[in-house]
Amino acid sequence: MENSIKPSYEQGERGSSAVLVSISIGFSLFWMLFFTALLYDPFANAGLPNNALALPLPIAMCVGFAAADVLIFKMCDFFAGERGHKVLWAIVSCYAIIPGIVLFTQAIRGAIVPMPFAFAAWLVIGVGLGCLLALWSELLVSFVKGFASKAIAFSACIGALLYFAMSSLPTLVGICFLCVASPMSLALLRLLEKESPAAPFVPRVECTRRHQLTKPIDALNTLYSAVFGLAIFMLSRSEPSLPLYGGIALAIAAGALFMVPFFSKNTDKMMHGMVQKILFPILVIGLMPLPFVDGILQVLCMLVILMGYICLTLVNLDSLYCLVKKYKVTSFYLVGRGHSPILVGVSLGYLIGYMAAFTNVVGDMSLAFASLALVVLMSVFVTTIDFDPDHLREEHEDAGHPHADKGRWKTKCAAIAEAHDLSAREIEVFNLLAKGRGTTYIQDKLYISPHTVKSHTYKIYRKLGVNSREELLTLVENAPIGDSGDSAETT
């Protein structure tokens, strides 16, 4: 019974190796465009007035990306329909035109592009990337979880290689490649959609009833991403060179490969503080020496932090795909809504770094110390805050519980817990035991050690007068609604 939730993550097509390769290549074009716009490519630097004005452009991309995500989330009923799909396809097909004009103007005519036009171009890039991610996500959630997880990791690795290859190309060739990348990605997506079943339509009202993401998780992802955004800003101030772009590509690929072992275990629990706990040591490794080193060592520290950002982004997407399957909601409802806090955090961190650096408020060392202090605070936050409030506990209940109606089962458990004077933590463990959960599930769910689970289980058995899991389940099954202490013990 401990693994009873797994089949919900395995809904969909299993896919072949050829399909996996095709999806990885098509989705990698999205990642290549995203990395280029976020980490600031060498083509964009050439025609802007000065480097100080050029640096905020990734903020514009993140803002456009987040705005597209929120719009798709708010209007998921429209975008899930045929007309909405056509709008998304049109946006993605055309969004490279404006940035292409800006880049060609810089490269061919040697003209200085006014900052508002360049900012608008990167804003359009963000909107287009948000729409492209929504379309690819709709395809990926039609496959089983293991297949989708591999596609996410492999596509990010290939995208990193494409980013490095594009950065080493002559300027005009690289610009042409950037302009045709999104149509190429769409063409592959179109071919793959013909071979995959169409996603079922779920109205937004029903999606809202089935699942809602929690604000504590949004806040945590935003805080973590602000640190990443600050590090990405500091990285963008490094002197452009092929070794730097190669290091960025290696950091991206390493981040994708690092999370592969966790993908196989990834369920919605990764959305509730677990991934942040995994990433905390990576941030410490990158941030601890940052204030005390410079040159290549400082760049290496920032690349380690960049690797952590890739881990958070990919696992977040993988978790969102899990939630789409588990709660049977449309991907347009959940993916953009769950991804946007990360983009907001990156843009905030980048903006803080930019304003501090170019208004001479603080130096790089102060920014590094501030980042380290922020991560320490976040470690306290992720350890102490309850990321599973009452309305989420309802979502984690098994809708098809084999023993009884969910509401009646919960009422019985509450009555038994009250009658036997269980503590608050014992009630949490008891509720999971009553649903047949095992030690591994409970420790991951409540973020406690196996020893603590066993200690609480022993105390619960003693208070309830049972000696095994089977006796506990029988006690709950036979308990009447509104059970009193006497009747429960008699049962």
The answer, yes or no, to whether residue 490 has pLDDT greater than 60, is no
More confident residue, 285 or 461: 461
pLDDT value for 15: 75
Q: Please, what is the average pLDDT of the chain?
A: 78
Tell me what pLDDT residue 404 has: 39
Residue 458 CA from chain centroid, whole number: 37
Region of poorest pLDDT, from 11-25, 101-115, 411-425, 441-455: 101-115
Both tokens of 48, joined, read 């802007």
Q: Are 208 and 386 in contact (CB under 8 A)?
A: no
Most confident of 23-37, 47-61, 108-122: 23-37
State pLDDT tens for residues 192-201.
Answer: 887 777 777 8
Q: Are 271 and 341 in contact (CB under 8 A)?
A: no
pLDDT at position 92 over 70: yes
Q: How confident is the model at residue 6 (pLDDT cuts 50, 70, 90)?
A: very low
> Domains in the chain, please, with CATH?
6-390 (1.20.1250.20), 397-490 (1.10.10.10)
pLDDT over threshold 80, residue 187:
yes
What local confidence, expressed as pLDDT, does residue 264 receive?
A: 63
Q: Is the pLDDT of residue 101 over 90?
A: no
User: How far lies 123's CA from each of 119, 192, 324, 432, in Å?
Assistant: 6, 29, 28, 46
Q: pLDDT class for 356, splitting at 50, 70, 90?
A: confident
CA dist 476 and 461 (Å) reads 13
- How sure is the predictor about 369, in pLDDT bands with cuts at 50, 70 and 90? low
Q: Looking at 14-18, 159-163, 314-318, 441-445, which range is the least confident one?
A: 441-445
- Residue 130 contacts by C-beta under 8 Å, 6 or more apart in sequence? 64, 65, 66, 67, 68, 69, 72, 336
Torsions phi, psi for 13 (to 5 deg): -75, 150
What confidence tens digit (pLDDT) does each residue in 452-483 have? Answer: 888 889 889 999 988 888 788 888 888 776 54
Q: What is the mean pLDDT of residues 247-271?
A: 76
Least confident of 58-62, 91-95, 115-119: 115-119
Average pLDDT for 157-180: 83
Cα separation of 366 and 352, whole Å?
A: 12
SS3 letters for the chain?
A: CCCCCHHHHCCCECCCHHHHHHHHHHHHHHHHHHHHHHHCCHHHHCCCCCHHHHCCHHHHHHHHHHHHHHHHHHCHHHHCCHHHHHHHHHHHHHCCHHHHHHHHHHHHHCCCCCHHHHHHHHHHHHHHHHHHHHHHHHHHCCECHHHHHHHHHHHHHHHHHHHHHHHCCCHHHHHHHHHHHHHHHHHHHHHHHHHCCCCCCCCHHHHHHHCCCCHHHHHHHHHHHHHHHHHHHHHHCCCCCHHHHHHHHHHHHHHHHHCHHHHCCCCHHHHCCHHHHHHHHHHHHHHCCHHHCCCHHHHHHHHHHHHHHHHHHHHHHHHHHHHHHHHCCCHHHHHHHHHHHHHHHHHHHHHHHHHHHHCCCCCHHHHHHHHHHHHHHHHHHHHHCCCCCHHHHHHHCCCCCCCCCHHHHHHHHHHHHHHCCCCHHHHHHHHHHHCCCCHHHHHHHHCCCHHHHHHHHHHHHHHHCCCCHHHHHHHHHHCCCCCCHHHHHHC
pTM score > 0.75 for this model? no
Q: Which of 102-111, 238-247, 304-313, 390-399 has the lowest mean pLDDT?
A: 390-399
pLDDT digits (tens, 9 = 90+) for 329-341: 889 998 888 899 9
Residues constituting the chain = 491
Query: pLDDT value at position 62?
Result: 92
435 residue type, one letter = K
Mean pLDDT for 3-7 is: 39
Region 22-35: mean pLDDT is 93
**Exposed e or buried b per residue across 123-148, where buried means at least 16 C-beta atoms within 10 angstroms of its C-beta:** bbbbbbbbbbbbbbbbbbbbbebebb
pLDDT of residue 158: 95
Q: In the prediction, which pLDDT does 271 show?
A: 54
Evaluate if residue 136 carries a pLDDT over 70: yes
Q: Name the percent of the chain lying above pLDDT 90.
A: 18
Confidence of residue 70 (pLDDT cuts 50, 70, 90): very high
| pLDDT given at position 178 | 78
| pLDDT attached to residue 195 | 74
State how far the Cα of 95 lies from the Cα of 37, in Å rounded to an integer.
13
Percent of the chain scored above 70 by pLDDT?
75
Residue 67 has pLDDT above 80, yes or no: yes
Task: State yes or no: pLDDT of 399 exceeds 50.
Answer: no
Q: Is the pLDDT of residue 211 over 90?
A: no
Asked if residue 31 has pLDDT above 90, the reply is yes
Looking at residue 17, what is its pLDDT? 86
Q: Please compute the mean of the pLDDT values over residues 396-412 and round it to a whole number.
A: 55
Given a cut of 80, whether residue 206 has pLDDT beyond it is yes
* Of 202, 201, 78, 89, the residue nearest 135 (C-alpha): 89
